[in-house]
Homo-oligomer: A and B are copies of this chain.
Amino acid sequence: MIAAPVPLPHKFLQSALTREGAFLTEEQFLAWFNEKSRNESYSVRQIPFSKIKEWFFDKTTGNLAHASGKFFSVHGISVKTNYPALLSWEQPIISQPEIGILGIITKTFDGIPHFLMQAKMEPGNINLVQLSPTLQATKSNFTQVHKGKLPHYYEFFEGRPQGKIIVDQLQSEQGARYLNKRNRNIIIAIEDVIEVYENFCWLTLGQMKQLLRYDNVINMDSRTVLSGIQFVDQNRAGDGSRGKTAPSIELFGKSLNEFQHSLYLSLIDRENNLHRFEDIISWFTRLKSKCEIRVTPIPLNKVQRWHKNDYEIYHESQHYFSIIAVEVTTNDREVPSWTQPLLKHFSCGIVGFLVAPINGVLHFLVEARMTPGYIDLIEMGPTVSCSELEYRIQSETAPLFTEFFYHADEKNIRFSAILSEEGGRFYHYQNKYMIVETDSPDRLTIPDGYIWMTYGQMLDFIKHTNYINIEARTLIACLSFL
């Protein structure tokens, strides 16, 4: 029998292995980025709700909404579920039914795909400016509710996108904070010359993989879009056996270390996956069949255990999050200044994948995660996602597998960085993102809501909507062979 040919590593894989861009070195980028951060005259300050303009609390329901009926609103929900256990609670949630665009333009320079990124201020970012996609716009932005000008490069993504489609998928955001929110994640490849506006720059994927190791440089929107890039041509996928039998491997002149080699096999090897595609689908289907969730909208002023004062709407435990109002002043935005609500988080959460080599191939321990905001009941998330870790540990309700991350041995940490969630909605919401390896996966008891999957399997699911959650997509974006 003839072994299937090893798939041609995709040119995006080459970009992911390229640390020197055609335009900027990492040092030059950091200098440029720091200058952008310093130069812009932004100011964000918390204000009392009484000072918020164009936003109103409904007199009857207490729901918070924009006068135009656009952007987003905050109301309450009552949740009853049997997954992962019998639970019921009430909470405020952001309702943003419109589908926005998160779009990145890619173009080849010196044979290597580069990505057009933007240094962009968002009021909730702890450092204000982070690196965002080429276009990051809600429907209210591009239908000009603000009456500002259309964002740069909008025309590339409007209607049928211009250029060759690399990625174009609806992807969910935090289902514990948003009700049914998804954004259109797009990457288009162009060949024409385009103008590079101020605050924009071209970077290779490898450069961004390096920048993801810095705290709070690459924003959430960039991470979710970049996570969708495929490195193996699906019509040419082989069994990767040649890669498997080799003791080590060189990719585009870069020697992989043991972990990187195992990660590469996890991308291309289709014959040493612990679970077949059909078995993963069956697992997911069975959990969805079992899972019952009832989410009922309720008035914001009727949400149990949540209270409102002049400055915030908060949980009586002072945990989870609160809703605040801010005033933003800037000279670099579609409109010169505005006020808006934000969801404020009190502590840095932890999000981590436990990984292990199984059959010589790196596997990721995926959790089937339920949140009230997902469109289709459950999505696949990292091993641990917890926004209130300290509190959960104190109250002895820390999620399973937490111990691998909370006191991780340095030698097992494959990735660790503090990254921000969407600064247009969240105020100082950060998570510590980690990838931690264990060499003894056999000793673990894997409960029904968890499953081992390879990198390649996760990338198969990411092609479709309602599978890989935003936290898992961030960690996938952070995977690197550098």
Q: Check if A285 is an interface residue, CB within 8 A of chain B.
A: yes
Interface residues of A in 138-177 (CB under 8 A from B): 159-161, 165-170
Interface string of A458-469 (1 = CB under 8 A from B): 000001111000
> Do residues B237 and A166 form an inter-chain contact, with CB atoms below 8 A?
no
Interface residues of A in 276-297 (CB under 8 A from B): 276-279, 281-282, 285-286, 288-289, 292
**Could you say which of B5, B184, B281 contacts A289, with CB atoms under 8 Å apart?**
B184
Most B CB within 10 A of own CB, among A97, A170, A466? A170
Q: Check if A234 is an interface residue, CB within 8 A of chain B.
A: yes
Interface residues of A in 215-256 (CB under 8 A from B): 234-237, 239
Q: Check if A375 is an interface residue, CB within 8 A of chain B.
A: yes
**Could you say which of B5, B160, B270 contacts A286, with CB atoms under 8 Å apart?**
B160
Give the distance in Å from the alpha carbon of A270 to the alpha carbon of B184 in the complex. 26
**Could you say which of B167, B184, B277 contacts A234, with CB atoms under 8 Å apart?**
B277
B residues near A235, Cβ cutoff 8 Å = 237, 239, 270-271
B residues near A289, Cβ cutoff 8 Å = 99, 101, 170, 184
Q: Check if A376 is an interface residue, CB within 8 A of chain B.
A: yes
> Residue of B at shortest CB range from A273?
B235
- Closest Cβ–Cβ distance, residue A188 to chain B (whole Å): 9
- The interface of chain A, by Cβ under 8 A from chain B, is 2, 4-5, 97, 99, 101, 159-161, 165-170, 184, 186, 234-237, 239, 270-271, 276-279, 281-282, 285-286, 288-289, 292, 375-376, 463-466
- Closest Cβ–Cβ distance, residue A460 to chain B (whole Å): 9
- The 21 sampled A-B contact pairs (Cβ below 8 Å) are A2-B5, A4-B236, A99-B288, A101-B289, A161-B282, A161-B286, A165-B279, A168-B286, A169-B281, A169-B285, A170-B288, A170-B289, A184-B286, A186-B282, A234-B277, A235-B271, A237-B237, A281-B463, A375-B375, A375-B376, A376-B376
> Do residues B166 and A285 form an inter-chain contact, with CB atoms below 8 A?
no
- Closest Cβ–Cβ distance, residue A443 to chain B (whole Å): 22
B residues near A186, Cβ cutoff 8 Å = 282
- Closest Cβ–Cβ distance, residue A90 to chain B (whole Å): 21
Give the distance in Å from the alpha carbon of A478 to the alpha carbon of B36 in the complex. 61
- Closest Cβ–Cβ distance, residue A314 to chain B (whole Å): 32
> Do residues A184 and B5 form an inter-chain contact, with CB atoms below 8 A?
no
Known contacts A236-B4, A237-B235, A279-B165, A376 near B286 by CB under 8 Å: no
> Residue of B at shortest CB range from A139?
B289
B residues near A276, Cβ cutoff 8 Å = 165
Give the distance in Å from the alpha carbon of A165 to the alpha carbon of B285 in the complex. 12
Give the distance in Å from the alpha carbon of A313 to the alpha carbon of B270 in the complex. 55
Known contacts A4-B4, A4-B5, A239-B235, A168 near B463 by CB under 8 Å: no
